[in-house]
């Protein structure tokens, strides 16, 4: 087979040209870390941006969709107060939580609540990436490893159970930048934590966020993770959640998307201990020409675990929603119980929904299934509500609130769930 040298897109060329200067400007010179960055960069050079013929990116052709790439945010600017910094979405501002604030991808101690963290909770920074085992073949993750500017490590010690959530606020501002936040959450045996990540930046600025959150859970840990994409309307957001669970974990992760022109949220979750219960959910409310991709790989490597997924897309305008969810059951993972549901409401003929739920099953004693629906709002129900006196837009809003609310309802933490119900409400008000 002939090796064809790909023509570099403008974005690919930009990434490739930025790296040498970025690498030279790094203030820490840890050889192992530099080696990882260099290897990841070379991996990216070899792979290029993912495109539609790469199966995991079949519906999100980053090569075609990502035109320009801003330069990486550089260290010196991080601590500068940015007057044009975006503000936290109002729905989340009232959430009582311990704040961990990242500004353009770097921990901002002054804005964070690091001084008043509860006992058993520690936050520190590492300059270099840890090994991202098995994820190196994803070009977007390779970019994060190459360009990351500090890794925030959050540690919850064994047995510590937090009622108040931690709130990681990743704010982006100033001129167009590319930021590469990286967070490691280590949850000790029997610990319990709710971590909210909100990602936001100004409208109208074409910035790029590429974040990676890694979670390692000890046995019996309970983790609730909620990611809110409230990026500006011109932003591109590439995010990865990589999770390795131990035994008897309860793990819930929710992805809530209203922001970004182009976004891709991918979850790689591996069950390595028995008797864990996983719930992944998400609500995506998209309009205009937004493109949002959710890609899940839930990998059952051991027996006796349960996974549930429920994702809801509301597509207005010319928006595109993508859902790809794969449940893998490895040969030894008997008694796996896995159910996945993807539902989408397409409100206009300009909008598109692409659904690819997938089952890959190598063990026989399992109960697995998926369902997917795409369609309009139920006309009978719409008529019923109108007949009770509700104007059409209000009736629609009510139904959409219920539709998206079904996914949000899977969030365990009351305060966070209420905040996101508020965010759905705000989105619907803006629509009307």
Partner 1 sequence: MVAVKETVEQVRALDVDQYKYGFSTELEVDKAPKGLSEDIVRFISAKKGEPEWMLEWRLDAYRRWLTMTEPNWARVSYPKIDFNDSYYYAAPKMNASPKSLDEVDPAILDAYKKLGIPLREQEILAGVQTSKIAVDAVFDSVSVVTTFKEELKKVGVIFCSISDAIKEHPELVRKYLGSVVPVTDNYYATLNCAVFTDGSFVYIPEGVRCPMELSTYFRINEKNTGQFERTLIIAEKGSYVSYLEGCTAPQRDENQLHAAVVELVTMDDAEIKYSTVQNWYPGDSEGKGGIYNFVTKRGDCRGANSKISWTQVETGSAITWKYPSCILRGDGSRGEFYSIAVSNGMQQVDSGTKMIHLGKNTTSRIISKGISAGRSQNTYRGQVSAHKKATNARNFTNCDSLLIGETCGAHTVPYLESKNSSAMFEHEATTSKISEDQLFYCRQRGLSAEEATALIVNGFVKDVLQQLPMEFAVEAQKLISISLEGSVG
Residues in touch with partner 1 (CB under 8 A): 1, 55, 58, 331, 334, 344, 346-349, 351-376
| 88, 102 Cβ separation under 8 angstroms | no
Q: What angle do CA 293, 181, 81 make, to 5 degrees?
A: 120
| Closer residue to partner 1 (CB): 232 or 282 | 282
| Closer residue to partner 1 (CB): 335 or 417 | 335
| Closer residue to partner 1 (CB): 211 or 320 | 320
Shortest reach from residue 303's CB to partner 1, in Å: 11
* Nearest partner of 146 among 2, 250, 41, 3, judged by Cα: 41
3-class state of residue 85 by DSSP: coil
| Closer residue to partner 1 (CB): 256 or 323 | 323
**DSSP secondary structure letters along 94-114:** T---EEEEEETTEE-TTTS-G
Shortest reach from residue 334's CB to partner 1, in Å: 7
Beta strands 98-103; 106-107: pairing state: antiparallel
Shortest reach from residue 264's CB to partner 1, in Å: 18
Shortest reach from residue 341's CB to partner 1, in Å: 9
Shortest reach from residue 35's CB to partner 1, in Å: 33
CB proximity list for 171: less than 8 A, separation 6 or greater: 85, 86, 88, 101, 102, 103, 104, 200, 201
146 token code pair: 């190459």
Shortest reach from residue 386's CB to partner 1, in Å: 18
With b for 16 or more beta-carbon neighbours within 10 A and e for fewer, the 374-383 pattern comes to beebeeeebe
DSSP character at residue 72? B
| Closer residue to partner 1 (CB): 77 or 356 | 356
Q: CA quadruple 299, 214, 41, 35: dihedral positive or negative? A: negative
| Closer residue to partner 1 (CB): 164 or 304 | 304
| Closer residue to partner 1 (CB): 252 or 355 | 355
Shortest reach from residue 346's CB to partner 1, in Å: 5
């Amino acid at each position: 087979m002939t090796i064809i040298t790909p023509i570099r897109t403008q974005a690919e060329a930009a990434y490739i040209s930025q790296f040498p200067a970025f690498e030279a400007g790094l203030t820490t010179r840890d050889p192992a870390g530099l080696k990882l960055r260099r290897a990841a960069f070379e991996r990216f050079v070899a792979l290029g941006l993912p495109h539609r013929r790469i199966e995991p990116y079949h519906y999100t052709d980053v090569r075609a969709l990502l035109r320009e790439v801003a330069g990486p945010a550089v260290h010196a600017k991080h601590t500068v107060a940015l007057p044009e910094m975006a503000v936290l979405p109002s729905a989340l501002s009232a959430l009582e939580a311990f704040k961990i604030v990242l500004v353009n991808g770097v921990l901002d101690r002054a804005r964070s609540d690091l001084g008043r963290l509860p006992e058993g909770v520690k936050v520190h920074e590492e300059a270099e990436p840890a090994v991202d085992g098995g994820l190196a073949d994803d070009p977007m993750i390779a970019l994060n490893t190459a360009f990351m500017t500090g890794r925030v490590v959050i540690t919850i010690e064994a047995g510590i159970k937090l009622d108040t959530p931690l709130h990681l606020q990743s704010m982006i501002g100033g001129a167009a930048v590319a930021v590469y936040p990286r967070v490691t959450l280590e949850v000790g045996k029997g610990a319990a934590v709710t971590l909210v990540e909100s990602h936001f930046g100004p409208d109208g600025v074409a910035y790029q966020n590429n974040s990676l959150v890694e979670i390692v859970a000890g046995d019996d840990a309970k983790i609730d993770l909620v990611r809110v994409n409230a990026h500006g309307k011109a932003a591109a957001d590439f995010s990865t959640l990589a999770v390795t669970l131990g035994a008897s974990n309860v793990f819930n992760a929710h992805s809530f998307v209203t922001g970004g022109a182009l976004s891709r949220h991918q979850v790689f979750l591996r069950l390595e201990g028995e008797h864990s219960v996983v719930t992944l959910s998400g609500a995506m409310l998209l309009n205009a020409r937004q493109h949002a991709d959710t890609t899940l790989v839930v990998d059952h490597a051991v027996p006796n675990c349960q996974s549930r997924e429920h994702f809801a897309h509301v597509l207005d305008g010319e928006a595109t929603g993508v859902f790809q969810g794969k449940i893998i059951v490895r040969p030894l993972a008997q008694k796996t119980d896995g159910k996945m549901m993807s539902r989408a409401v397409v409100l206009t003929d300009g909008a598109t929904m692409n659904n690819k739920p997938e089952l890959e099953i190598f063990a026989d004693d399992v109960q697995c299934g998926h369902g997917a629906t795409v369609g309009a709002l139920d006309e009978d129900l719409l008529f019923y509500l109108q007949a009770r006196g509700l104007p059409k837009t209000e009736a629609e809003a009510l139904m959409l609130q219920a539709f998206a609310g079904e996914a949000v309802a899977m969030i365990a933490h009351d305060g966070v769930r209420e905040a996101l119900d508020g965010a759905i409400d705000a989105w619907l008000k803006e629509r009307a």
